[in-house]
Structure 1
Amino acid sequence: MAALGRISQTLLRSSLTQTRRQMSAAAAGHGEQAKTWKILTFVVALPGVAVCMLNMYLKEQNHSHEQPEFVPYSHLRIRSKRFPWGDGNKSLFHNPHVNALPDGYEEH
Structure 2
Amino acid sequence: MAMSSTAMVARRALTAASQGGHEGGARTWKILSFVLALPGVAVCMANVYLKMQAHSHDTPEFVSYPHLRIRTKPWPWSDGNHSLFHNTHTNALPTGYEGPHH
TM-score (norm 2): 0.79
Q: Are 1:93 and 2:85 matched, yes or no? A: yes
Q: Deviation of residue 76 (structure 1)? A: 0.6
Instruction: Give 1:51's match in structure 2, choosing from 21, 24, 43.
Output: 43
Find 1:38's aligned residue among 19, 25, 30: 30
| Pairwise CA distance, 1:71 | 0.3
* 1:37-78 C-alpha deviation (Å, 9 max, x unpaired): 000000110001001100110111011000010001111101
Query: In structure 2, the residue corresponding to 1:85 is in which secondary structure?
Result: coil
Gaps of 5+ in 1: 1-17
Question: Which 4+ runs in 1 deviate beyond 2 A?
Answer: 21-28
Once residues 75 and 26 of structure 1 are traced to their aligned partners in structure 2, the CA distance between those partners, rounded to angstroms, is 63
Which residue matches 2:73? Answer: 81
- Which structure has more RCO (C-alpha within 8 Å, separation ≥ 6)? 2
Which SS does the other structure have where 2:83 is aligned? Answer: coil
Gaps of 5+ in 2: 1-10
Q: Alpha carbon RMSD of aligned pairs, Å?
A: 1.9
State the SS of the aligned residue for 1:87.
coil
Deviation at 1:27, TM superposition (A): 3.3
Number of aligned residue pairs: 89
Quick one: distance in 2 between partners of 1:23 and 1:82? 69
